[in-house]
Amino acid sequence: MRGSQLSRRGLFGLVSAGAAALLGSTAAAAGRVTSVQVGGALSALAVSPVTGLVYAADQASGMVVVLDPDAERVVATLAVGGEPSDVAVDTDRIYVANPAGGTVLAFDSQTHRFLSGVSAGAGASALAIDPQADLVYAVSGKTGTFAVLDSISLTQRDLLPAPKPGLAGIALDRGRRRAYCTSPSTNSVEICDLDAGAFTASVPVGAAPAGIGVHELSGAVFVANSAIHHLSIVDGSTRVPVKTVPLRSEASSLAVHQGSDVVYTNGGQNGLSRVDGRTETLAGELSLGVNPGAVAVDQRTRTVYVTDPLHGTINVVRDF
C-alpha cells in the first residue's frame, strides 16, 4: 500500500506571547512527511539497525507489521498472538513482548522465521536490547518485575523482584551498565545496576512517566510524562532531575538520536516535538494533524517514524 506524500514546511507559530515565554523560541525547520496505511491498532515501533525496516506491533490483530519505508509498503507480517505491546530489533533478531502470555517472542531478523518464546514474567510489556552483552531485558507493566533474557540460548537468566507496582518503559545505558525504568504509579524512574542485578535508586520525575530514552555518550536520561505537559531530564551520573522542558501536550513516547543528541517525542500539538539534548530546550515542532502514538528513529538516517493509532498509519518524517 503506497502512502500519500504530505509536505510540511516551517513550524506552526506560538499562539501567544505567554506561550512563547513558556516554551522559548523554536527555530524554523522543514519536515517531509509520508503517511503509509498499514491498518490495525499500532502500539510500538522499532527500526532495524541493518536494513532500516520498521516493525510495528499491532495489538488488534496480534501481529507485527514490517514496513519498508523506501517502498512505502508492508513487506511482511509476524504472527505473535495476544496483544503485542513492544518490539525491539538488533542485527540478528526481532523481539516482541506478549504481556498476555508473560513471554518475549524471538524471530530471525533476516528470514522473519519464529525462533522461540521465552518466559519473562507475568505481564512482560516493554523491552530493551544489549547486543554486545547478548542480553534482552523485559519489564512488566502488571507486576513491575525485571527479566534478564539470554539472546543466544533464548532462555531466562534472572527475574528481579518488582521495585514498584508496575514499570511502563525501559532504556539502557550500556556503557555505564544501568537500566532506567519508568514507574507511572509513583511518578519516578527506577534505576537498576545491571552488574549487581539490583535496583539501587529512585528518581522523582513528572506525572505518569511512560516513554524513556538515554543519550549514551552524555548519560542524560529523557522521560516522557504522560499526564503533564513536559519532558523530564535526569542526570545519569548524579541521579537527580536537572530540567523540565515544557511541551504542547502530554508525551508518552520518545526516541533519542544518539549522533545528534536530539530527542523526538509525541508531546507536540497533534504532532512531534524536537528537544535539543545539549541545550535541554525545545528546538522545533511539526504538526502531523493527528494525535501521535509511538515514536522511533533510524540512527543512521535520522528518519523519524510516528504511529497514528486511530487510523492505522505510520508517518515517515524526514529532515526534521
Give the pLDDT mean for 247-253. 96
Let me know whether 196 and 314 are in one domain.
yes
Q: How many CB atoms lie within 10 A of CB 6?
A: 15
In our burial notation (b when 16+ CB lie closer than 10 A, e otherwise), range 65-88 reads bbbebeebebeeebebebbbbbbb
Q: Give me the DSSP letters along 114-128.
A: EEEEEE--TTEEEEE
Residue 258, CB-side half-sphere exposure with 13 Å CA sphere:
11
Whether residue 150 is found in the same domain as residue 273: no
- Inform me whether the pLDDT recorded for 13 exceeds 60: no
C-alpha cell at 245: 522542558
Q: How confident is the model at residue 95 (pLDDT cuts 50, 70, 90)?
A: very high
Q: Over the stretch 32-75, which tens digit does the pLDDT of each residue have?
A: 999 999 999 999 999 999 999 999 999 999 999 999 999 999 99
Q: Is the pLDDT of residue 12 over 70?
A: no
Higher local confidence (pLDDT), 11 or 271 = 271
Q: How confident is the model at residue 29 (pLDDT cuts 50, 70, 90)?
A: low
Tally of structural domains, the chain: 2
* Distant-in-sequence, close-in-space partners of 255: CB < 8 Å, separation ≥ 6: 213, 263, 264, 265, 295, 296, 297, 304
**What is the identity of the amino acid at 107?**
F
118, 137, 161 - which closes a domain: 161
Longest dimension (CA), the chain: 58
21 within domain boundaries: no
Summarised one tens digit per residue, pLDDT across range 224-236 is: 999 999 999 999 9
Does residue 84 belong to any structural domain of this protein? yes
Same domain membership, residue 201 and residue 302 = yes
Per-residue pLDDT tens over the stretch 180-216: 999 999 999 999 999 999 999 999 999 999 999 999 9
Alpha-carbon span 136 to 131, nearest angstrom: 8
This prediction's pTM: 0.90
Cβ-proximal residues to 195 (8 Å cutoff; 6+ apart), any chain: 177
134 and 230 fall within a common domain: no
**Whole-angstrom distance, CA of residue 271 vs CA of residue 265:** 9
253 and 153 both lie in a single domain:
no
Q: Is residue 227 part of a domain?
A: yes
Residue given cell 523526538 in the structure block: 264
Q: Is the pLDDT of residue 108 over 50?
A: yes
Look at 8-12, 152-156, 234-238, 264-268 and tell me which has the smallest mean pLDDT: 8-12
Q: Are strands 73-79 and 63-68 parallel, antiparallel or unpaired?
A: antiparallel
List the CATH number of the domain containing 251. 2.130.10.10
Secondary structure letter of residue 164 according to DSSP: S
In-domain check, residue 187: yes
Using the 3D structure, point to which of 161, 192, 226 is the last residue of a domain: 161
**Structural domain boundaries, residue 252:** 175-319
Shared domain check, 224 and 297: yes
Provide CB contacts within 8 A for 17, sequence distance 6+. Answer: none
Mark which of 131, 161, 191 sits at the end of a domain.
161
Tell me the average pLDDT of the chain.
90
Give yes or no: residues 83 and 179 share one domain: no
Residues 142 and 181 placed together within one structural domain of the fold: no
Residue 25 lies in a domain: no
